Every structure is written in C-alpha cells, then in structure tokens.
Amino acid sequence: MKVLIIGLGGVTNGGKTTLAEKLKKMLPNCDIISQDDFFKPESEVETDERGFKLYDVLDALYMDEMVKSIHDWMKSPASSDVVTEDPQNTCDNLKNIDDVYILIVEGFLLYNYEPLNELWNRRFFLTLPYEECKRRRSTRVYQPADTPGYFDGHVWPMYLKYKNELEENGSNVVYLDGTKSLDELLSCVYSDIIQELKKLRE
C-alpha cells in the first residue's frame, strides 16, 4: 500500500478548498485534510495593539494536531473516511491503482512549518494579486468577522511574509495563478498528480 501526500497551499480565497474538492471527485482513494479545521478558539488567538486577532500566523493553529492527523491517516488510509467509489472521468492512467491512497492537505500556511515539510510528495501554492484577493475576501463571511482594516493590516502582510519565506527556503513548489479558471487549475494539478502516481507504480 502506497500513499501520496499532496499539499495545496497559498493565499486566502485563492480557491484551495474548491480545487481540493474537485480533485477528490476525480481521483481514486482520495481524502482531504483542511487546515481550517485546526484553528484555535477565538479566546486562544492573540490580539495585537490595534485590536486585530492574529489568525494568519502559525500560532493561531494547533499545528501539532494537524501533523498527527496526517500521520494517523498515513498509518491506515484504508480505514479513514475515504470515498472509494469510482472517481468521475476515470482515465486509463487511474486503472489498477487500488493500492495507492491520496491525501490532499489544503490550507493557507502549509509550507512554513518544518514537521509538515517532511511529508509532501508534491506542493502547490496558489497566488492572487492584491486587488483580486481583497475583492474576494470582501465577499466572504468570517466568524469572527473581519474588522475594518484587517485585510491590509494583518491578512495581506502575513501572506507576503510567509510567501517570501517559502520563496527563500522552499524548493519543488509549483506556483499556480489563482486568477486562472478552475478548469485550467484543475487540469494542471490533476496531470501533475497523475505523473506522481505513475512514478509510485514504477
């Protein structure tokens, strides 16, 4: 039994969750772990001097629990909640790979935490220009809600900080333009995963 761990990281509102869900429907034995499920409760998230809740930093997340969840999945992927029904659009590339299990881990801060970086088979990073990201963010409802100035004061600066760290230290990261259509992004990531599956079978 082999496992393939795919990271789908990047900017807030870049389309990570949508892309992950679409891929799950197209790939066999595929499961998703979402970083958003590991946020600390609001009472445990630090507030800065401006009154901003500092959600876009690693300290706002139970990262050790996230790593444990991935390791637990890797130990027994077949017993997880994986949907084993035949994926949509099954192509010849996907036949006879019942012994391969795929985990897509999606989140905004995946590649700046060392214990996670030992796990990836492939790493994707979605980017958006400032104006488009701000526009998309403004259409979403968050709990707690974004306070005035929060995007410019905290969200975007933290994205740039962690992206710069990644560009300095990270290798083998595939950068994706989040302004492209979902079909284009899906095609790119899907074909890349198929190549990884082929390598695993060799």
Report the C-alpha gap between 157 and 145 in whole angstroms.
18
Report the C-alpha gap between 48 and 68 in whole angstroms.
29
Q: Which helix (DSSP H) or strand (DSSP E) does residue 34 occupy?
A: strand 30-34
Is there a catalytic annotation at residue 192?
A: no
Q: Which helix (DSSP H) or strand (DSSP E) does residue 191 occupy?
A: helix 182-201
Task: Tally DSSP H helices, then E strands, for the chain.
Answer: 7, 5
Contact between 60 and 40 (Cβ < 8 Å): yes
Q: Which of 36, 48, 59, 72 is catalytic?
A: 36
Look up residue 161 and give its amino acid: K
Report the C-alpha gap between 54 and 132 in whole angstroms.
22
Report the C-alpha gap between 17 and 9 in whole angstroms.
10
Residues counted in the chain: 202
Which of the residues are catalytic? 36
